[in-house]
């Protein structure tokens, strides 16, 4: 089997993540993509985004094989400093590169708003 270079490929969703992503997109008519955030504790944070890069669903947090998210996440809601990986899963048909860049920039571009 040939292995493509990673760069222009979407990170692979885990099986449970995929199920969550599909559920989120089904409930979000405006959603063109889902932001997937993996936290160091094993919990996941996801939210659909619209073509404008605006939130298109509530933020969903969950933990595999658990009724609730972990205590740390309950406290900090999945703090940015604990993020191990974050990426955007695009719904088919995947938007063109310019649209992807615009949305990604809006979603990840300014994680720390400047303070005066």
Contact between 70 and Zn ion per CB under 5 A: yes
How many angstroms separate the CA atoms of 112 and 82, rounded? 14
Q: How far is the CB of 61 from Zn ion (least distance, A)?
A: 8
Contact between 43 and Zn ion per CB under 5 A: yes
Q: Of residues 35, 46, 73, 107, which one binds Zn ion by CB under 5 A? A: 73
Contact between 83 and Zn ion per CB under 5 A: no
Q: How far is the CB of 65 from Zn ion (least distance, A)?
A: 13
CB atoms under 10 Å from CB of 87, counted, come to: 18
Contact between 37 and Zn ion per CB under 5 A: no
57 Cβ partners below 8 Å, 6+ apart? Answer: 24, 27, 28, 31, 47, 48
Q: What are phi and psi of 4, to 5 degrees?
A: -75, 160
The residue range among 24-32, 70-78, 86-94, 96-104 that interacts with Zn ion, by the rule CB under 5 A, is 70-78
Contact between 41 and Zn ion per CB under 5 A: yes
Q: Is the dihedral of CA 23, 28, 34, 40 positive or negative?
A: negative
Are 40 and 6 within 8 A, CB to CB?
Answer: no
Contact between 60 and Zn ion per CB under 5 A: no
Footprint on this chain of Zn ion (rule: CB under 5 A): 41, 43, 70, 73
């Amino acid at each position: 089997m040939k292995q493509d270079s990673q760069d222009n490929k979407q990170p692979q969703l885990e099986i449970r993540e995929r199920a969550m992503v599909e559920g989120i997109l089904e409930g979000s008519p405006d959603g063109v993509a889902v932001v997937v955030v993996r936290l160091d504790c094993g919990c996941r944070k996801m939210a659909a985004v619209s073509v404008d890069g605006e939130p298109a669903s509530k933020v969903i947090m969950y933990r595999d094989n658990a009724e609730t998210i972990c205590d740390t996440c309950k406290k900090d809601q999945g703090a940015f400093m604990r993020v191990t990986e974050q990426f955007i899963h695009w719904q088919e048909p995947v938007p063109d590169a310019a649209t992807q860049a615009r949305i990604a920039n809006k979603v990840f571009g300014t994680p720390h708003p400047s303070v005066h």
